[in-house]
A and B are shown apart, each in its own frame.
Chain A
């Protein structure tokens, strides 16, 4: 069988078929969730953040989270739309929300599934409405940190106990530490 010559019709047909096949393969369902090291990373450094009818406390949390992201090379802003949608609500203390103050998911991934085009963040007022200002800062920093591609930190990986990315919300950890900032900067 002779190989298609560059520029010939069969060459273009082969290219189109390959493209279509690649799309089909990429669209096939498969495990694409994050490893233990990092959450899915944002598609670029610009982070347009939408607040959807937030309560005062949740709004304060978001503003602190934005300030923290802007300590990195990210450009997080309320001007523009479409990268991070932030909600809050009385999510209750049952099911997946049991013990959970905030939750982040990637709603839309980029075409190759490698990065996240649109994150959803939800604060659970069933817990967060009882939070102090420091705890709200920790919550905002934590959830917005996930949208910067950060995963959780632990006592084993945050030995000086100063990262808001620890699994639990605490007013003594309201900010990113330098390691968090390095991870964000390396991913964008």
Chain B
């Protein structure tokens, strides 16, 4: 075919191929809006600074050793920037309940926030890698009354027990667990359990009290100041 030997054909064709590829890359549809692995990290600053593992536990609503039995999509909300974000929820079967301020018991299943999806990306927080079905862990959780779900109150809220050695979220930078005598590099499950039980006992007996974190909410639509009260006073 003579047109194939015509230089002008290629001079037109080459930019066309490049342009189509570029446009496809920039506007490609996301094949999977809920990817199985995280593709983006987000950085958050924690509002409450805990002084000890006992205080961290005392401020929690539920401390359990449980197993992840599923990952499901939670509610979708719109961020201030306009992005739609869908909560990634773990379904956790409660094995042993170590401490609770809510009526959750062993054998029940609860949902735990563990990152989110937005615009085809999976978002993972700080030092809290996504858990998957089959993972067994210590969970230190706070209850979300509005959605009947639970959230982590800090980086050190999770110890994965599935592998040979327990893996503490925040690992090498542990402050609360380290102060309770845990060396994340060497501690075994029994050591974590002992430290957790000691902290829970201090919380149960009232020797260590929850933190009364001040939270605010608007009193009326358009209220910029809001009314602020301690979360333990509500």
Contact = CB atoms under 8 A, between A and B. Distances in A.
Interface string B36-74: 011111111111110000000000000000000000001
B45 A168 contact: yes
A98 B38 CA distance: 20
Interface size class of B (residues with CB under 8 A): 35 or more
B10 A103 contact: no
Contacts of B213: 99, 127
A170 B45 CA distance: 10
Given A13-B10, A98-B144, A154 B173 contact: yes
Contacts of A156: 172-173
Interface string A139-156: 100110010000110111
A11 B33 CA distance: 39
A31 interface: yes
Interface string A148-176: 00011011110000000001111000000
A33 B47 contact: no
A125 B222 CA distance: 13
Interface string A18-37: 01100110110111111010
Contacts of A167: 45-46, 126, 154-155
A90 B211 CA distance: 21
Contacts of B81: 85, 87, 107, 120, 122
Contact of A27 (B7, B25, B125, B152): B25
Interface string B1-17: 00000010010011001
B10 A101 contact: no
A151 B151 contact: no
Interface string B182-217: 000000000000000000000000000000011111
B96 interface: no
Interface residues of A, number: 66
A129 B216 contact: yes
A44 interface: no
A129 B226 contact: yes
Contacts of A27: 24-25, 28
Contacts, number: 185
Contact of A23 (B25, B74, B214): B25
Interface centre among B32, B46, B147, B170 (most CB of A within 10 A): B46
Contacts of A106: 40
A29 B231 contact: no
Contact of A105 (B75, B123, B218, B231): B123
Interface of B: 7, 10, 13-14, 17-18, 21-22, 24-25, 28, 31-32, 35, 37-49, 74-75, 77, 79-81, 83, 85, 87, 113, 115-116, 120, 123-127, 142, 144-147, 149, 151-155, 170, 172-173, 175, 213-218, 224-226, 228, 231
19 contacts: A24-B24, A30-B39, A32-B40, A34-B41, A87-B79, A94-B144, A96-B113, A96-B115, A96-B125, A98-B113, A99-B152, A104-B44, A105-B42, A107-B81, A124-B47, A125-B216, A154-B173, A168-B46, A170-B49
Interface of A: 9, 12-13, 16-17, 19-20, 23-24, 26-27, 29-34, 36, 39-40, 52, 55-56, 85, 87-96, 98-107, 120, 122, 124-127, 129-130, 139, 142-143, 146, 151-152, 154-157, 167-170
